[in-house]
């Protein structure tokens, strides 16, 4: 069995353990669940699995951890989706202006909101525009996978009708969008330099992202970024979105297992990335590229910047790195 296969198996078991851990802790009083009973057992199992997963393929070494987001931090997400829709419409000989693009994406949102498995497991954290180009083989349960078959064509059929175009072009539009969107997978300007600088300074880089694991890994690999990360945490595997305390708990368990601490969380989402940082008690750098940056003077543990290169100015990793004692919480506070 390869290291990647072992890692995937351990991640799956870790995901199951995390769900049990969170479920039990909601039932038992906190003081009890931390010390005795199923929660304590499950947590020990979870830490053991994380150590095993690390030994199977997650790189070790280095000092403090910098946690970075993927979509719209390292690669384009929303802008790439809009551009792919625009190019698809133009390829069909249809108006490709901003309004037409918005109409398509609005219908994608409506269809995804009404999808029967929108809130089912792995799909909970998938956006409506991502659902238009999910991989056919994503390890989903058969009923869920079957419900996705033809979803993109159905969305395009309705959207084309709304644009007073021929709905029979939907299969062509769906295939064209998938091809164009995949072709836009590349690192944003300055990303490689940013990651090279972090690794050159001896930092450990962890990726934290929401979405379907197979889809997120596909994007990471297509952008040529896999080699920069010492560990990759995807909401599907963790069992919680980044804005949920469970995601921060998973990172904290991994920090304890590897005796490290987080010194900076970098991402564009005020909800998910800053939420992750808040739940973990970690300093954060908010990439406010879509909206004007707030006043930095009142940011507290959060600083705001418009570019990744400026994020390096706010790195709070001390030098030299200080390893944590086993069981110590991974936080800079």
pLDDT, one tens digit per residue, over 26-57 is 444 444 333 334 444 444 444 444 544 444 33
CATH superfamily for domain 62-75+187-333:
HAD superfamily/HAD-like (3.40.50.1000)
Whose CA is closest to 129, among 174, 172, 176, 81?
Answer: 81
Decide: helix, strand or coil at residue 145: helix
Q: Is the pLDDT of residue 64 over 90?
A: no
Structure tokens at 324: 């944590």
Please tell me what DSSP assigns to residue 127. -
Of 252, 253, 217, nearest to 70 by C-alpha is 217
Please measure the distance between the N-terminal and C-terminal CA atoms of the chain and give it in whole angstroms: 41
Residue 136 has pLDDT above 80, yes or no: no
- For residue range 103-130, list pLDDT tens digits in order: 999 999 999 999 988 877 778 788 999 9
Instruction: Kindly report, residue by residue over 201-229, the tens digit of the pLDDT.
Output: 889 999 999 999 999 999 999 999 999 99
pLDDT at 143 over 90: no
Give the confidence band of 68 by pLDDT, cuts at 50, 70, 90: very high
Q: How far apart are CA 137 and CA 144, in angstroms?
A: 11
pTM of the shown model: 0.75
Reduced to 3 states (helix: H, G, I; strand: E, B; else coil), residue 33 is helix
Tell me, what's the pLDDT at 294? 66
Query: How far apart (Å, rounded) are the C-alpha atoms in residues 123 and 297?
Result: 38
**Percentage of the chain lying above the pLDDT 90 cut:** 51
Q: Which of 172-176, 246-250, 327-331 is predicted with the least confidence, judged by mean pLDDT?
A: 327-331
Structural domain boundaries in the chain: 1-58, 62-75+187-333, 78-183
The more confidently predicted of residues 325 and 94 is: 94
- The more confident residue out of 303 and 233 is 233
Residue 147 has pLDDT above 90, yes or no: no
Calpha distance 19→37 (Å, rounded): 16
Q: Which of 44-53, 190-199, 226-235, 309-318 has the lowest mean pLDDT?
A: 44-53
pLDDT of residue 171: 98
The mean of the pLDDT values for the chain is: 79
Cα 65 from Cα 203, distance rounded (Å): 6
276 pLDDT above the threshold of 90: yes
Query: Residue 319 — very low, low, confident or very high, per pLDDT cuts 50/70/90?
Result: low
Confidence of residue 318 (pLDDT cuts 50, 70, 90): low
* Closest to 307 measured CA to CA, from 180, 157, 190: 190
């Amino acid at each position: 069995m390869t290291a990647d296969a072992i890692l995937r198996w351990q991640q799956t078991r870790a995901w199951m353990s995390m769900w049990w851990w969170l479920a039990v802790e909601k039932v038992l009083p906190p003081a009890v669940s931390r010390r005795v009973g199923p929660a304590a057992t499950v947590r020990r199992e979870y830490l053991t699995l994380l150590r095993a997963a690390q030994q199977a393929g997650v790189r070790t070494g280095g000092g403090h951890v910098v946690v970075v987001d993927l979509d719209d931090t390292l690669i384009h997400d929303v802008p790439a989706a809009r551009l792919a829709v625009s190019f698809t419409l133009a390829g069909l000989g249809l108006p490709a202006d901003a309004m037409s693009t918005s109409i398509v994406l609005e219908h994608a949102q409506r269809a995804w909101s009404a999808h029967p498995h929108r809130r089912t497991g792995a799909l909970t954290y998938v956006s409506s525009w991502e659902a238009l180009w999910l991989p056919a083989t994503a390890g989903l349960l058969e009923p869920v996978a079957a419900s996705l078959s033809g979803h993109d064509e159905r969305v395009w059929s309705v959207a084309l009708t709304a644009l007073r175009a021929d709905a029979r072009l939907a299969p062509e539009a769906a295939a064209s969008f998938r091809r164009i969107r995949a072709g836009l997978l590349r690192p944003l300007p300055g990303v490689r330099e940013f990651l090279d600088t972090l690794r050159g300074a001896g930092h450990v880089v962890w990726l934290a992202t929401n979405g379907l694991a197979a889809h997120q890994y596909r994007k990471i690999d297509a952008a040529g970024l896999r080699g920069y990360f010492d560990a990759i945490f995807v909401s599907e595997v963790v069992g919680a979105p980044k804005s949920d305390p469970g995601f921060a708990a998973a990172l904290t368990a991994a920090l304890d297992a590897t005796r490290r601490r987080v010194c900076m969380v970098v991402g564009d989402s005020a909800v998910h990335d800053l939420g992750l940082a808040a739940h973990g008690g970690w300093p954060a750098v908010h990439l406010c590229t879509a909206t004007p940056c707030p006043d930095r003077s009142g940011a507290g543990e959060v600083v705001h910047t418009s570019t990744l290169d400026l994020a390096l100015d706010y790195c709070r990793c001390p030098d030299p790195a200080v390893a944590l004692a086993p069981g110590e919480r991974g936080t800079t506070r």
